[in-house]
A = this chain, B = another copy of it.
């Protein structure tokens, strides 16, 4: 990986191996006074440090450097919805900012405690965990909002059920966080996004409680669930979610093909989705990502050249793209169904000139699906920063969008005499379009603030290009505080006013996560 990055970013060998500072050695200022809060309240320095930021690149860069700009004045852990209500009432009355926090894995500055004159608490919802109710007949399960992915699937697994929502952060993120950020999992093609999976919810806010019962569908006014999903804490704190569950798969298969070009791969994906192919996942890698996967896959130096040689023999040319598809089979389904679905996908791919790679790339993807972010720290040790950007757009806009983002990143890097390596894949396909997911690598200045500034310049350039080319600001990461400057462009001035009016109704004091979504200030470097 080091060699691959050196080839692309240049001068990498000259960088020294870096180490993160010991978190226990990071100075944390004393907390400011807070009103009496009716829930477990911690003022421990390490606890406050751990709840200061999310998992975005600048968060990690600053944490590694011991240069965290602000801390919550307490970490508050309510035991139930009534305690959440009490804490919010006390904070609203005293003007204390509240940053609701599930797993804290936001990569958009969505859970960051920013410096400001008002005191702030991190509201850790981890105690609202586990299965609350199960209506097996209807396939509905109610969970505390703080339930982590593995706990949620374990609780459902005991009943032979699954939710099927697997974002890359699954190990460390919560169902409440998935809902608050309107997230999508890797198998959204088969199971839907969290917006499709949430049937009912409970929201607690200083200005009232919203209790939306689980309904399979309704025409009773606008869908208020949809107003809460993606509200990122601005409307209130989600305390409970009733989700649509299904029979737990007994089989999960994924296979890979090498299609001759990006355009051919896009055509295959569009055709499969338009035909309603019963797949759980489809992912198409750009030529660069395809080459990288071969060069720096977990098998590393050994597997890469061997695979390249073999594929050249099979007729794969430069520009070829890796296409992965996955299918699952539940008990009661015909056992051969997943294999048949993948065979049909393979037939569609071969009609566009694809070469079959068999089950190995699929097994690798399944094994590594939650592990790629772990690489980030190792890369930072090497002096390389990596971040991701994601969007979605109609099929007709995707080619222009991909070129615009890539071009903007290259130009922004060139402006400071640097290189940026950009990988891209298409995933989460829909009948009318798909998500594009970009992974970028750039040389990380040793100084944390310089590193954050470089990241911010790249991020601004890419985001402006992305929305300018017709992409949505985010397909599954959310708006947070970092994307907020571009949000009015997407929602429109009237749309922002609508949401702000709704937020004022439930949070008249404006204490709930005030820096995300509706605050258009540029906080990329805050």
The B-contacting residues of A in range 194-241, CB under 8 angstroms, are 195, 199, 205, 207-224, 226-232, 235
| Minimum C-beta distance from A468 to chain B (A) | 12
| Minimum C-beta distance from A275 to chain B (A) | 6
Assuming the A-B contacts A246-B274, A432-B199, A494-B207, are A222 and B230 also in contact, with contact meaning beta carbons closer than 8 angstroms in the complex? Answer: yes
| A432 engages B139 (CB within 8 Å) | yes
| Minimum C-beta distance from A240 to chain B (A) | 14
| A219 engages B183 (CB within 8 Å) | yes
A-B contact sample (13 more), CB < 8 A, given A219-B474, A502-B502 = A138-B397, A139-B274, A208-B497, A211-B492, A215-B472, A216-B430, A216-B431, A218-B472, A219-B475, A220-B474, A221-B517, A275-B333, A501-B505
Chain A interface residue bracket vs B: 35 or more
Complex interface: stretch among A119-127, A147-155, A477-485: A477-485
Which residue of B has the minimal Cβ distance to A215? B472
| A494 engages B475 (CB within 8 Å) | no
Assuming the A-B contacts A217-B392, A474-B220, A479-B220, are A210 and B333 also in contact, with contact meaning beta carbons closer than 8 angstroms in the complex? Answer: no
Closest 8 CB pairs of A and B: A208-B494, A226-B226, A216-B433, A138-B394, A216-B430, A218-B472, A220-B473, A501-B505
Chain B contacts for A479, CB-based, 8 A: 219-221
- Identify A244's interface contact among B218, B235, B247, B431, CB under 8 A: B431
CA distance A228 to B221 in the complex (A): 9
A450 close to B (CB within 8 Å): no
| Minimum C-beta distance from A205 to chain B (A) | 7
CA distance A470 to B242 in the complex (A): 15
Chain B contacts for A44, CB-based, 8 A: none
| Minimum C-beta distance from A370 to chain B (A) | 19
Assuming the A-B contacts A221-B517, A226-B223, A432-B138, are A498 and B502 also in contact, with contact meaning beta carbons closer than 8 angstroms in the complex? Answer: yes
A interface residues with partner B (beta carbon < 8 Å) = 135, 137-140, 181-184, 193, 195, 199, 205, 207-224, 226-232, 235, 244, 246-247, 274-276, 278, 332-333, 392-397, 428, 430-435, 470, 472-479, 483, 487, 490-495, 497-499, 501-502, 504-506, 517
- Identify A222's interface contact among B430, B434, B435, B499, CB under 8 A: B499
Which residue of B has the minimal Cβ distance to A517? B221
Chain B contacts for A394, CB-based, 8 A: 135, 137-138, 140, 199, 214-216
CA distance A230 to B207 in the complex (A): 24
| A501 engages B502 (CB within 8 Å) | yes
A-B contact pairs, 10 of them (CB 8 A): A137-B395, A140-B432, A205-B494, A208-B493, A208-B494, A215-B394, A216-B393, A218-B472, A219-B476, A235-B498
Chain B contacts for A473, CB-based, 8 A: 218, 220
| A182 engages B222 (CB within 8 Å) | yes
CA distance A501 to B247 in the complex (A): 41
| B396 engages A219 (CB within 8 Å) | no
| B221 engages A494 (CB within 8 Å) | no
CA distance A475 to B216 in the complex (A): 9
CA distance A478 to B218 in the complex (A): 8
| A221 engages B274 (CB within 8 Å) | no
